């Protein structure tokens, strides 16, 4: 169980972007991807892929042409981390159920993954466990915003416990 680079990069880049706005006005200038890529040490083309998705998810807005770049679509305090991960295409998948209510743990075509074919609605014995784990993770990631990350409000082991 681990986070992919795409998800991490997305959050790193968003944090970078959020840190770039001049504090008084929220929208002083757009930030070029080249800058972010350089500062964070991420491949530019990969970052373009990621921001393409983040824009489609409505988390950032883009400005083309010279002097263009990206800005946050909302204040950092209103962007929960879970949205960044979802936007970047890094879903939290703790179960293997089809999202549309298909059979639990149904195997991908031609492959045996996760047990015998089950009737739709039938659940394996561990289903509730993974579902509960998924809820835990999402709850946490929804409770932390981009502003928390750049403000370093995560130090203690009990951060964001509310």
The residue ranges that bind DNA (CB under 7 A) are 4-6, 9, 30-34, 42-46, 48-49, 51-52, 55-56, 62-70, 108, 110-113
SS3 state of residue 80: strand
Between the alpha carbon of residue 21 and those of residues 15, 18, 114, 139, the distances in Å are 11, 6, 47, 28
Do residues 145 and 77 touch, judged by C-beta distance below 8 A? Answer: yes
As a whole number of angstroms, the distance between CA 39 and CA 13 comes to: 9
Beta bridge partners of 72: 60
State the minimum distance, in angstroms, from the CB of residue 157 to DNA: 26
State the minimum distance, in angstroms, from the CB of residue 47 to a second copy: 12
Residue 94 partner contact from a second copy, DNA, none using kind-dependent CB cut-offs of 5 to 8 Å: a second copy
Residue numbers at the binding site for a second copy (CB under 8 A): 1-5, 7-8, 11-12, 15-16, 19, 40-43, 81, 85, 90-94, 96, 112-116, 124-126, 128-133, 135-137, 140-141, 144, 149-150, 152, 154-155, 157, 159-160
Cα angle vertex 124, ends 118, 126, to 5°? 160
**Of 30 and 81, which CB lies nearer to a second copy in the complex structure?**
81
């Amino acid at each position: 169980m681990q986070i992919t680079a795409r998800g991490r990069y997305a959050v790193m880049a968003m944090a970078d972007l959020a840190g770039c706005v001049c504090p008084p006005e929220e929208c002083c200038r757009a930030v070029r991807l080249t800058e972010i890529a350089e500062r964070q040490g991420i491949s530019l083309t990969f970052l373009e892929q990621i921001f393409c998705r983040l824009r489609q998810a409505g988390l950032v807005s883009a400005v083309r042409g010279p002097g263009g770049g990206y800005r946050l679509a909302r204040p950092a305090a209103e962007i929960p981390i879970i949205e960044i991960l979802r936007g970047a295409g890094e879903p939290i998948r703790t179960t293997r159920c089809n999202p549309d209510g298909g059979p639990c743990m149904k195997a991908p075509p031609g492959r045996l993954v996760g047990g015998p074919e089950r009737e739709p609605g039938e659940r394996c014995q561990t289903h509730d466990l993974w579902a509960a784990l998924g809820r835990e993770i999402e709850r946490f990631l929804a409770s932390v915003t981009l502003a928390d990350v750049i403000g370093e409000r995560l130090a203690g082991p009990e951060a964001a416990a509310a």
